[in-house]
Amino acid sequence: MTLSQLVNERATTGTPPNRFRSRNPDDFAVPRGREEEWRFTPVRQVRELFEPFAPTSVMDGSVDAPDGVTWAIVAPDDARVGQVLQPGDRVSALAFSHARQALVLELTGTPERPVLVHGRITPGLAYEHMVIEAKPHARATVVVDYAGSATVAENVEIVVGAGAHLTVVSLQQWDADAVHLSSHAIRLGADATVKHVVVNLTGRLVRIAPTVEFAGRGARAEMLGVGFAGDGHHFESRLYLDHAVPHCTSDVLYKNVLSGESARTVWIGDVRIRPAAAGTSTYEMNRNLLLTDGARADSVPNLEIETGDIIGAGHASATGRFDDLQLFYLQSRGIPFEEAQRLVVRGFLADVVDRIGVPDLQERVMTAIEARLGFTPEVENED
């Protein structure tokens, strides 16, 4: 069975085009698991985050920043907090109202290297809030590297000023019992470009919901996702791209590999093109490769097009097992079956990883993926 044979294009998710947003947690009922936005999530594992708690942990949040980057830990009433994000669910609203501090990163010019935020955390319950702001015409990259064992409710605000190019990578390499729910709100100014990358390698439950607000003409969003879900991992990505102004572009590519009978991934790709968004170009794709029986990938692309005056809008979703023809081709060149499988899986994910544009990080991610696949480090035979 090939991936392309399983292309599944669905017309609707039942997701309302106008989303309810509020900073008041009580405006959102406690999720029971049947709601459209929670039906794919194992809510029992998240229950602690549905009620207010006294934080018992906080992210290390130390920042390795080159020149051109200023950062600070600020109080929640700082003017820079809450610029973009309006909570869309109860967990986000609770995090918004209970986080005691926020990490604010401000990026100007062209910093010579990526900003690295250490998202290390000690065991416990945590509320987190982060604001990443690229000033107009800045060109910068931020990598947030999550690890440890904790239960985290988080909000991330990403502001990309006019003409700025910002790459944000959220790398999840959590311990096996970590739960991480995060809402990312991205606002793009005129001619701004964001490359937003979610890399899910380990963690019991990682649910990241990026929303993109196109606030100026000519903006562009490239949304990338890479996941390698093993036994006991649930990785969920819920995207919402809201094209409200003319001549913006969005390009979404999420790929997951699932290995292990309790491996789960969920991908929701909602794209709305409002009447004013003439000249929009959007394409979204989700591909999931199932390596073992029992693994399950849910994939729901959804396009709501409210104007015919667009350049293009498309989506594709495919979930399947190995492509027999790819394996045949590699084997026909002498490559043993298991090595051919590893090459295909590695390539399936490298296809997205190669687009991140941060070579050190790409190497780290591919090394972690290769280790999971059982690649042994190559011993070079120099003479």
Partner 1 sequence: MSTLEIRDLHVTVGEGEETTEILKGVDLTVSSGQTHAIMGPNGSGKSTLAYSIAGHPKYTVVGGSVTLDGADVLAMTVDQRARAGLFLAMQYPVEVPGVSVSNFLRTAVTAVRGEAPKVRHWVKEVNEAMAVLEMDRAFAERSVNEGFSGGEKKRHEILQLELLKPRIAILDETDSGLDVDALRVVSEGVNRYMSTAALDGEGAPGMLLITHYTRILRYIRPDFVHVFFDGRIVESGGSDLADRLEAEGYARFGAAESAHSGVDGAPAHAV
Binding residues for partner 1, rule: CB under 8 A, are: 323-326, 328-337, 339-340, 343-344, 346-351, 354, 378, 380-383
The CB-of-287 to partner 1 minimum distance in angstroms stands at 9
For partner 1, which is the closer residue by CB, 12 or 381? 381
What residue has token string 């050190």? 360
Task: Kindly state the smallest distance separating residue 291's Cβ from partner 1, in Å.
Answer: 16
* Between 78 and 370, CB nearer to partner 1: 370
Kindly state the smallest distance separating residue 322's Cβ from partner 1, in Å: 11
- Half-sphere exposure at residue 378, Cβ-oriented, CA atoms within 13 angstroms: 5
Contacts of 289 by beta carbon, 8 Å cutoff, 6+ apart: 3, 255, 256, 257, 258, 320, 321, 322, 345, 348
Q: In what order do the strands lie in the sheet with 165-174?
A: 63-64, 115-121, 139-148, 165-174, 193-202, 220-229, 249-258, 281-290, 312-320
Nearest C-alpha neighbor of 221 from the set 180, 172, 160, 279: 160
CB of 271 to partner 1, least distance (A): 23
Q: Which residue number, 204 or 255, has a Cβ lying nearer to partner 1?
A: 255
The amino acid occupying position 277 is A
Calpha distance 190→220 (Å, rounded): 9
Q: Pick the closest to residue 236 from 194, 261, 268 (CA basis).
A: 268
Question: Whole-number minimum distance, CB 327 to partner 1, in Å?
Answer: 8
Token pair 């399950």 is found at 296
DSSP conformation class of 307: -
For the CB of residue 347, give the shortest distance to partner 1 in the complex, in Å.
Answer: 3
Q: Return the C-alpha torsion angle 13, 14, 18, 19, nearest 10.
A: -80
Q: Which is nearer to partner 1, 49 or 291 (CB)?
A: 291
Q: Distance between CA atoms of 6 and 17, rounded to whole angstroms?
A: 27
Give the residue with the Cβ less far from partner 1, 280 or 341: 341
User: Token pair for residue 342?
Assistant: 């590893």
Please tell me the distance from the alpha carbon of residue 127 to that of residue 54, in angstroms, as a whole number: 9
Work out how close the CB of 380 gets to partner 1 at its nearest, in angstroms, rounded to a whole number.
6
Is the distance from CB of 169 to CB of 144 less than 8 angstroms? yes
Q: Helices then strands (H, E): number in the chain?
A: 4, 18
Nearer to partner 1, 74 or 344 (CB): 344
Instruction: Report the residue number, 34 or 333, with the smaller CB distance to partner 1.
Output: 333
Nearest approach, Cβ of residue 367 and partner 1 (Å): 15
DSSP category for residue 30: P
> 240 or 322: whose CB is closer to partner 1?
322
Least CB distance to partner 1 at residue 77 (A): 46
Query: C-alpha angle 241/243/248, rounded to 5°?
Result: 105
Q: Is-contact 223 251, C-beta < 8 A?
A: yes
Amino acid making up residue 359: P
Which value, in Å, is the radius of gyration of the alpha carbons in the chain?
20
Minimum Å gap between C-beta 345 and partner 1 is 9
CB of 74 or CB of 343, closer to partner 1: 343
Q: Which is nearer to partner 1, 280 or 299 (CB)?
A: 299
